[in-house]
Amino acid sequence: MVQTKAKGKRLQATKAIKNDFAVLWEEDPLFVTIPLEKLRIVRGSMACAYCGKAFQERGTVEEKRAKGDIANESDRSKNRGLPGTTSCLAKGCDARFCDNDCRQLADAVHGAMWHNSGHTKIKSSDWKDFEKFCVSHHWNMGYSYGVTLLTLIKSGKNDLLREKFEAMATIPENKRYSKEEIDDLHLDETWDEGYKLLKKTVGKIYDFSFDEFLRGLGTFSLNNYNGNLYELQSHLNHSCEPNVRLAFSDGKNRLRVEKMPEATINANDELEMSYINSDLDYEERQELLLKHYGFVCSCTKCKREAKTFAVIEIDSETGYIKPPPTSERSRRKSVRFNDEPLISVSKPAIKLAVAVKAN
């Protein structure tokens, strides 16, 4: 990891990497959350209460049998015909886990979310109110940040985990939306009410301001990959022409960072992934990145395409370029308009995509 003035933290290769799909590293998430759409099956004991993996996924039971991980197969009373999975040890708790690893990792945060044990100052009924609010507002980020906050609280104030979370890039959540979007989606109300409910849940042991809440949400929004936060991966910067890509290693949440086929990685090259679908066209990419990640991309691909995708209008009478329209999008594009006609047009031609020099 290298700290730079221009781009903040970046990851770079210590040596050339030749083989396509070479695994650069693997890592388990620092923070694991469950997507809201999976909560129903998690609460119904049909998916892991830690990692969210659905038990009916093909291969799960067979994989576990093959591994000999069938310790709970005789536990017919609670396992709802799901051999290989394991249940919470607390009385009356319906939570099920993939295996003992998931159960141990869930630890006391699980208690706060399900049945109080281990977290006496957090009432699981308060958490469930917060959870219900997130579900009814389709507010994945809120729920994920809530789980992250519980995990942080559990880890203690001066813990390494908190330092790692705070080292991640952030933009306060309310800066990631335009005024119109905030009004249209009633985001202000969601944030206010969500903050109140979360504060009610953890307020007895952890005091946090509304600003801290918005920053935390922003950190989660910017850095999560598939709903989880990964320490090293979160420091990968973006390129629309990435040289690494991500894959999951174990059917759960273990992330693998591998070399993109046909990319070149030399020693000291920056490692970059794509935050978005890099097959989108130039304008769509720029719009998404600006809106959701807060930056204008100037990667090699964008520099190349900025030239060819500028749409200009030619006045069919004069053959001169028409002055630019005044919409927000075209103002952002700094195309230089010359006095000289760039091309001669004999027939009425209105819109052309031509190579122009962008500065």
Q: What is the distance of C-alpha 165 from the center of its chain?
A: 14
Task: Compare residues 107 and 159 and give the one whose CB is closer to Zn ion.
Answer: 107
Could you give the C-alpha distances from 232 to 10, 14, 250, in angstroms and in order?
10, 15, 18
Report the residue count for the chain: 359
Task: Compare residues 93 and 335 and give the one whose CB is closer to Zn ion.
Answer: 93
- Distance of closest approach, residue 206 Cβ to Zn ion, in angstroms: 22
Looking only at residues 32 through 61 of this chain, which bind Zn ion when binding is defined by CB under 5 A?
48, 50-51, 53
CB-CB contact of 39 with 135 (8 Å): yes
Looking only at residues 75 through 94 of this chain, which bind Zn ion when binding is defined by CB under 5 A?
88, 90, 93
CB-CB contact of 24 with 259 (8 Å): yes
Q: Is 24 in the site for Zn ion (CB under 5 A)?
A: no
Give the one residue of 102, 106, 152, 153 binding Zn ion; rule: CB under 5 A.
102
Segment lying near Zn ion (by CB under 5 A), choices 111-119, 222-230, 309-317, 324-332 = 111-119
Q: Is 122 in the site for Zn ion (CB under 5 A)?
A: no
**What is the token pair recorded at 238?**
């973006």
CB atoms within 10 A of CB 345: 17
- Distance of closest approach, residue 342 Cβ to Zn ion, in angstroms: 26
Segment lying near Zn ion (by CB under 5 A), choices 112-120, 137-145, 227-235, 329-337 = 112-120
Looking only at residues 221 through 260 of this chain, which bind Zn ion when binding is defined by CB under 5 A?
240
- Distance of closest approach, residue 254 Cβ to Zn ion, in angstroms: 11
Those residues with Cβ within 8 angstroms of residue 357's Cβ, 6 or more apart along the chain or in another chain: 307, 335, 336
Number of residues in contact with Zn ion under rule CB under 5 A: 15
- Distance of closest approach, residue 297 Cβ to Zn ion, in angstroms: 3
Q: Hunting for tokens 């759960």 — which residue is that?
A: 252
- Distance of closest approach, residue 336 Cβ to Zn ion, in angstroms: 21
CB atoms within 10 A of CB 1: 9
Q: What is the spatial distance between Cα 36 and Cα 15, in angstroms, rounded to a whole number?
A: 41
Q: Is 265 in the site for Zn ion (CB under 5 A)?
A: no
- Distance of closest approach, residue 303 Cβ to Zn ion, in angstroms: 8
Those residues with Cβ within 8 angstroms of residue 168's Cβ, 6 or more apart along the chain or in another chain: 219, 222, 223, 229, 234, 235
Question: What phi, psi does 238 have (nearest 5°)?
Answer: -95, 145
Partners of 321 in beta bridges = 314
Task: Compare residues 202 and 299 and give the one whose CB is closer to Zn ion.
Answer: 299
- Distance of closest approach, residue 323 Cβ to Zn ion, in angstroms: 28
Q: Is 147 in the site for Zn ion (CB under 5 A)?
A: no
Partners of 31 in beta bridges = 229
Task: Compare residues 13 and 90 and give the one whose CB is closer to Zn ion.
Answer: 90
Q: Is 113 in the site for Zn ion (CB under 5 A)?
A: no
Q: What is the spatial distance between Cα 138 and Cα 26, in angstroms, rounded to a whole number?
A: 31
Q: What is the spatial distance between Cα 106 and Cα 133, in angstroms, rounded to a whole number?
A: 22
Task: Compare residues 88 and 197 and give the one whose CB is closer to Zn ion.
Answer: 88
Looking only at residues 278 through 317 of this chain, which bind Zn ion when binding is defined by CB under 5 A?
297, 299, 302
In the complex, the residues that contact Zn ion under the rule CB under 5 A are: 48, 50-51, 53, 88, 90, 93, 95, 98, 102, 114, 240, 297, 299, 302
